């Protein structure tokens, strides 16, 4: 771990403690965006943060989990895993973000939190959750391409992405199988467990954003009690649908592997199978 990363966690601890003392004010309703890696979380977060009331403090991997970079670390966390110091650290830092950025609401985008739905809500019971899902063929293709090309990803199981529940049973399998399992497990968990929070949860599809972002994004703002306007909407980035690349990357055999492993998620989200 680099020196900057080592130094970052103590800073999180200090800010959390100061925030718990009320030095940064009260915490407003935070927005937590989740989704399997390369499912469009970044593009969605950029559009959401076009609203002047929202500050985008995304990822913050070490803030959520100081052991994030450990190769054998579990990503999956339940509400029972929450400790008092987790609550102080996270809530205090979110208060700090509001204070430092001079904006009333914090948004955090973190794909790994797709398998920490109840962990997040235990710490932030007032939070609103948004889950973005993308066709598994395209999502797995993006992850696979990065995992086989980048050395820093090749040395980690699951390409250095989410290590979901049950991941240790897959560490000796080919990376394509690992990533198919990851998309299936993380996407289903975020969708099914998030839905248990009713009106605090919203799910959107990546494929709907290019044509319908002008209605979808204001719906997310409304979830936070924020109004939209033509001026604010004009600041949003343009969404592109990049879902066809997988057809040129994967062989028929690879597509069959993906669809066999991730069939439950394809069925749940209504994405068609082609093998």
pLDDT band at 111 (very low <50, low <70, confident <90, very high): very high
Instruction: Please say if the pLDDT value at position 2 is more than 70.
Output: no
The b-or-e profile of 216-227 (16+ CB within 10 A means b, else e) is bbbebbebbebe
Query: Residue 240: which of 196, 210, 270, 268 has the closest Cα?
Result: 210
The full set of domains in the chain, from first to last, is 3-269 (3.40.50.300)
Q: What is the pLDDT of residue 242?
A: 86
Cα Rg of the chain (Å, integer): 19
Q: What is the pLDDT of residue 5?
A: 63
To the nearest 10 degrees (0 to 180), the angle between helices 3-20 and 84-101 is 90
Tokens 């995992």 — which residue? Answer: 147
Q: How many CB atoms are located within 10 Å of the residue 132 CB?
A: 28
Both tokens of 238, joined, read 């343009």
Q: Which residues contact 172 (CB under 8 A, 6 or more apart)?
A: none
CA triple 194-217-126, angle to 5 deg:
40
Percentage of residues in the chain with pLDDT exceeding 70? Answer: 97
Instruction: Please say if the pLDDT value at position 255 is more than 60.
Output: yes
pLDDT band at 82 (very low <50, low <70, confident <90, very high): very high
Q: How many CB atoms are located within 10 Å of the residue 88 CB?
A: 18
Instruction: Please say if the pLDDT value at position 97 is more than 60.
Output: yes
Task: State the Cα–Cα distance between residues 241 and 210, nearest whole angstrom.
Answer: 7
Instruction: Please say if the pLDDT value at position 100 is more than 90.
Output: yes
Is the pTM value of this prediction over 0.85?
yes
Segment 50-81, tens digit of pLDDT: 999 999 999 889 999 998 878 788 999 999 99
Segment 138-170, tens digit of pLDDT: 999 999 999 888 766 777 889 989 999 999 999
Q: What is the pLDDT of residue 118?
A: 98
**Are 99 and 26 in contact, with CB atoms under 8 Å apart?**
no
186 against 4, higher pLDDT: 186
């Amino acid at each position: 771990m680099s020196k900057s990363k080592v130094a970052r966690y103590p800073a999180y601890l200090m800010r959390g403690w100061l925030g718990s003392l009320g030095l940064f004010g009260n915490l407003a309703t935070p927005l937590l965006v989740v989704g399997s890696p390369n499912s469009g979380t970044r593009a969605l977060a950029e559009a959401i943060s076009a609203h002047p009331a929202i500050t985008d403090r995304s990822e913050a991997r070490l803030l959520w989990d100081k052991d994030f970079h450990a190769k054998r670390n579990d990503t999956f966390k339940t509400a029972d895993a929450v400790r008092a110091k987790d609550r102080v650290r996270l809530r205090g830092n979110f208060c700090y973000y509001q204070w430092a950025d001079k904006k009333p609401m914090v948004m955090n985008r973190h794909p790994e939190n797709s398998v920490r739905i109840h962990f997040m809500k235990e710490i932030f019971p007032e939070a609103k959750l948004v889950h973005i899902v993308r066709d598994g063929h395209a999502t797995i293709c993006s992850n696979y391409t990065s995992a086989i090309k980048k050395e820093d990803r090749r040395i980690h199981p699951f390409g250095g992405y989410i290590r979901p529940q049950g991941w240790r049973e897959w560490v000796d399998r080919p990376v394509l199988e690992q990533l198919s399992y990851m998309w299936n497990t993380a996407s289903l968990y975020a969708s099914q467990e998030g839905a248990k929070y009713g009106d605090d949860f919203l799910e959107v599809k990546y494929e709907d954003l290019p044509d319908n972002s002008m209605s979808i994004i204001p719906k997310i703002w409304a979830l936070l009690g924020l109004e939209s306007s033509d001026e604010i909407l004009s600041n949003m980035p343009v969404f592109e649908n990049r879902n066809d690349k997988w057809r040129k990357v994967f062989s028929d055999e690879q597509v069959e592997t993906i669809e066999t492993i991730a069939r439950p998620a394809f069925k749940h989200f209504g994405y068609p199978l082609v093998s």
